[in-house]
Amino acid sequence: MKQQAATGQNREIFGVPAVMTASECTALIRDLTQLWSLTYNQEIGDVEGDIELCRRFFDPLARGHSLRERLSQLPVTPAELLRPKRRDPLVVDTGENTLIVGVEARILLALLDGLDLEENYLVLPPRDVAAAESQALAVYQRWSRARLDQVIALRSGQGREVMQAISVGLITALLINRSDEPERAVVRWDRGTLEGQRVDTAIHAGAEQFAGAITKHRSKRSVGEQRLKGGYALSEARRRLAHRVVVIPDQPDGGELLYIPAKYKTEVVAFLGKDLARRPGLTEALLSMAFDQLVEEFRAVAGRLAHESMVFERSADTRAVKESLLLEFVRARHGV
């Protein structure tokens, strides 16, 4: 045992020696377990579930306001737990005599749980120490990449939630209008201008019709939400489609050009078809009907865009968009 202790005497895990006496190990388990209960107001559970619980304080995407609220609700740490000099990363001092524990403490408790406390000296094998450190690193890496992974999933149409129906309708309206180059772009102005109101109403009319058809209910969105500049529908679409939806600001007339570059049209149609296929209640027939209703409504109000020289819809091109959209929908639905 002395040889084992010598082997690991310089080794640490999260600031704790890899070699401890049984009494030291027992005290460490007791302290960490009590700090866990104080931090999360519940007893130790399964490792994976407890690690996810640590997001409450250690999630890099947590909002500052939320963290301040949670920290303010923590109980003061008992004096006997404040005496040990264990600190980051195992124990975090949040000030005002309050300590919290997180990922490292929970992983270490799981590691200590497998030791035989009947031994005089307890040695954490280097292989187990390395595995525990790798586990903690993997957790933080996953959390730190959460936003990136979320954006990648949205851009590839693999987000947990489908794209909002009104956003799909709005992008489809742009495709129908053949707004695929700056010369055929829709110009978006501030909502307060008369031109802006005309354009917003014209584009959103068909989109609303489409959304109502595929979701089977009418939206209660206010008129203020139905705008291209600062409106939710376009913001959601750009969040999903990213560079495939282009906005060119600072035009001579004060507006902004909105269009889908021709080189991305095929990608956009494929994205929409695959995303729509994720809606369990949507059928090919219903999608076809919704598309036709969008086109009908778009043509009915197209005069408002014609006044601004922004109507470029052609029947042959509209039919081609519909056929491509339905084809992508069917292929995605059947996993082709």
Task: Print pLDDT tens along the chain (336 aa).
Answer: 444 444 445 589 999 999 999 899 999 999 999 999 999 999 999 999 999 999 999 998 888 889 999 999 999 999 888 876 667 789 999 988 899 999 999 999 999 987 877 777 888 999 999 999 999 999 999 998 877 877 776 666 566 678 889 999 999 999 999 999 999 998 877 655 556 566 777 778 889 999 999 987 655 544 445 566 657 788 889 888 989 999 998 777 667 899 999 999 999 999 999 999 999 889 999 999 999 999 999 888 877 666 667 788 999 999 999 999 999 999 999 886
Instruction: Compute the distance between CA of residue 269 and CA of residue 305 in angstroms, rounded to an integer.
Output: 23
Given 126, 144, 162, which residue is the final one in a domain? 144
CA distances from 187 to 58, 73, 180, 210 (A): 44, 50, 13, 22
Answer whether residue 149 is part of any domain: no
Pick from 301, 83, 36, 53: nearest CA to 173: 301
Identify whether the C-beta of residue 190 lies closer than 8 Å to the C-beta of residue 196.
Answer: yes
Angle among Cα 140, 144, 275 to the nearest 5 degrees reads: 125
Please report whether residue 54 resides in a domain. Answer: yes
In a domain, 325, yes or no: yes
- CA separation (Å) from 68 to 22, 65, 72, 152, 247? 38, 5, 6, 30, 38
The HSE-up count of residue 50 (CA atoms within 13 Å, CB side) is 23
Per 3-state DSSP, what percentage of the chain is helix, strand, and coil (rounded to 5)? 60, 10, 30
- Regarding whether 189 and 130 lie in a shared domain, the answer is no
160 and 309 part of one domain: yes
Residue 134: what pLDDT?
Answer: 95
- The verdict on 244 and 287 lying in the same domain is yes
Secondary structure element (H or E) that encloses residue 121, with its range: strand 121-123
DSSP 180: -
Q: Which residues contact 295 (CB under 8 A, 6 or more apart)?
A: 176, 206, 318, 322
89: preceding bond cis by omega (within 30 degrees): yes
Specify the DSSP class assigned to residue 114: T
The reported pTM is 0.60
Total tally of structural domains belonging to the chain: 2
Residue 176 is assigned to a structural domain of this protein: yes
Domain termination residue (choose one: 144, 178, 195): 144
Same domain as 166, residue 120: no
- C-alpha neighbours within 13 Å on the C-beta side of residue 211: 23
d(CA 143, CA 138): 9
Tell me: do 63 and 86 sit in the same domain. Answer: yes
In this structure, the answer to whether residues 16 and 92 fall within a common structural domain is: yes
Give a yes or no: residue 197 inside a domain: yes
Kindly state whether residue 274 falls inside one of the protein's structural domains.
Answer: yes
Residue 107: Cβ-neighbour burial (10 angstroms; 0-12, 13-18, 19+):
buried
Judgement on whether residues 214 and 118 belong to the same structural domain of the protein: no
92 in any annotated domain = yes
Q: Are 11 and 18 in contact (CB under 8 A)?
A: yes
Verify that 139 and 158 share a domain, yes or no.
Answer: no
Please report, as a single letter, which amino acid is at residue 143.
Answer: W
* Cα–Cα distance for residue pair 126/9, rounded to 1 Å: 11
Looking at the structure, do residues 120 and 179 belong to the same domain, yes or no? Answer: no
Residues 108 and 40 in one domain: yes
Question: Which residue segment(s) compose the domain that 48 sits in?
Answer: 2-144
What is the predicted pLDDT for the residue at 8? 44
d(CA 79, CA 188): 63
In a domain, residue 36? The reply is yes
Based on the fold, state whether residues 140 and 158 are members of the same structural domain: no
Answer yes or no: do 118 and 253 share one domain: no
Q: How far apart are CA 149 and CA 300, in angstroms?
A: 41
- State the number of CA atoms in the 13 A half-sphere of 98 facing the CB: 14
Q: Which of 144, 168, 203 is the last residue of a domain?
A: 144
